[in-house]
Amino acid sequence: KRKVILDVDTGSDDAIAIMCALLSQELEVAAVCTVWGNTEVEYTTDNTLRVLTQMGMDIPVYAGASTALVKYLSKERCVDGTCKAVIDGKEVRIHDEHLKLPEAKYQKKSLPAPFFYLDYLAEATEPVDIIAVGPLTNLGIALSLNPDIVSGIHQMVIMGGGSMAANVTAAAEANIWHDPEAAEIVLESGVNPVFVPLDATHEAVITKDEIAGLRENGNFCSRFAAELLEQRMAVHNAIQPLHLKDSATVHDALAVACVVDGSLLRDVREESVRVCFSGAGEGHLVMDRREKREKANCRFAYSADREGFVRYLNRTLGCPENKS
């Protein structure tokens, strides 16, 4: 099994991603780090603990950063309807009583997430993949305190950025826009991450009929995911471009899925990327397209296998009892 650490700002698609990671036969989740982003870190941590409680899996949870490294964002920073898409109690309501998550039975650890990374990665005896699906603040802090921890990371997969697509502003994707400086630290660190950007996640949408199919799978995880996805679809129908109509993005789950099956990402290219910090392009990933460009510092997925991803979701969320 592949050891993974999740870095999440749970978040409805984060919740689905956590369930996918826990239920994927191929993965072993060593820890979950939480970060601010979709909402405040107290909520993203509580939401995460509630997902784990529902799954009956007492995996260590380390709460992390509550703000970006540099920029200040007020608590009302909500970007659009999906921004505060927490699982319960805020904008996203679970309509079906049977699909409410239980109160958290487990406690977060006292060590803050960046320090967990410092300890864990310095002592790691086997390779670990980090799947980061929120702002990169925790990783930015850890990497700036000890750049050597890069050698403890087998692979870092980041849901973030976009080349031809944006969501939070005309130029930027939310996870990168929330903490551009942290993203730049990660890019400069030499970790050579795999980006699962909006170009890929907008391709790998789940349609209305497929969401209905997921609900029919019958068990809690697939019905819970279907409930969240229906609400994401409603938001998409209200605010997103036409091509996402009657479908939902599941951004963060694609980042988990591609660790299980790399072929779900398509058109993956080596790129040399920098982050724009200010102005209209704040949070935008700038690709060096010059002939004599800077050395590549990441791999960037321009597309994804939509049908393969939906099959993964069905198979993984639909069969919790198969996890050994």
Find which of Ca ion, ligand BDR, none residue 173 binds, CB within 5 to 8 Å per kind. ligand BDR
Residue 129 touching ligand BDR (CB under 6 A): no
Catalytic residue among 178, 202, 236, 251: 251
Q: Identify which of residues 240 and 316 has a Cβ nearer to ligand BDR in the complex.
A: 240
Q: Identify which of residues 113 and 133 has a Cβ nearer to Ca ion in the complex.
A: 133
Find which of Ca ion, ligand BDR, none residue 174 binds, CB within 5 to 8 Å per kind. ligand BDR
Q: Is 251 annotated as catalytic?
A: yes
Residue 167 touching ligand BDR (CB under 6 A): yes
Alpha carbon distance 49, 201 (integer Å): 26
Residue 240 touching ligand BDR (CB under 6 A): no
* SS3 label, residue 72: coil
* Least CB distance to ligand BDR at residue 320 (A): 22
Per the rule left: phi > 0, alpha: psi between -120 and 50, beta: everything else, 218 is: left
Site track for ligand BDR across 140-159, x = CB under 6 A: -------------------x
Q: Identify which of residues 7 and 305 has a Cβ nearer to ligand BDR in the complex.
A: 7
Alpha carbon distance 97, 101 (integer Å): 9
Question: Directed axis angle between helix 220-239 and helix 12-23, to 10°?
Answer: 150
* Least CB distance to Ca ion at residue 290 (A): 32
Residue 318 touching ligand BDR (CB under 6 A): no
- Provide the residue count of the chain: 324
Alpha carbon distance 320, 324 (integer Å): 9
Q: Which residues contact 265 (CB under 8 A, 6 or more apart)?
A: 194, 196, 200, 258, 301, 303, 304, 305
In which residue are the tokens 């209305």 written?
Answer: 208
DSSP H helices, the chain, are 12-23, 41-55, 113-123, 137-145, 174-178, 180-188, 198-201, 208-216, 220-239, 251-260, 306-318
Alpha carbon distance 3, 248 (integer Å): 28
Question: Which region, judged by CB under 6 A, interacts with ligand BDR, from 141-149, 167-175, 262-270, 273-281?
Answer: 167-175
Q: Please tell me what DSSP assigns to residue 91.
A: S
Query: Which residues are at the interface with Ca ion (CB under 5 A)?
Result: 9, 11, 14, 133-134, 252
Tokens of 313: 């979701």
Q: Which of 38, 45, 217, 240 binds ligand BDR (CB under 6 A)?
A: 38
Residue 82 touching ligand BDR (CB under 6 A): yes
Q: Cα-atom radius of gyration of the chain, to the nearest Å?
A: 18
* Least CB distance to ligand BDR at residue 157 (A): 12
Q: Identify which of residues 13 and 184 has a Cβ nearer to ligand BDR in the complex.
A: 13
Find which of ligand BDR, Ca ion, none residue 199 binds, CB within 5 to 8 Å per kind. none
* Least CB distance to ligand BDR at residue 100 (A): 20
Q: Which residues are catalytically annotated?
A: 251
Which positions touch ligand BDR (CB under 6 A)? 11, 13-14, 38, 82-83, 133-134, 159, 167, 173-175, 251-252
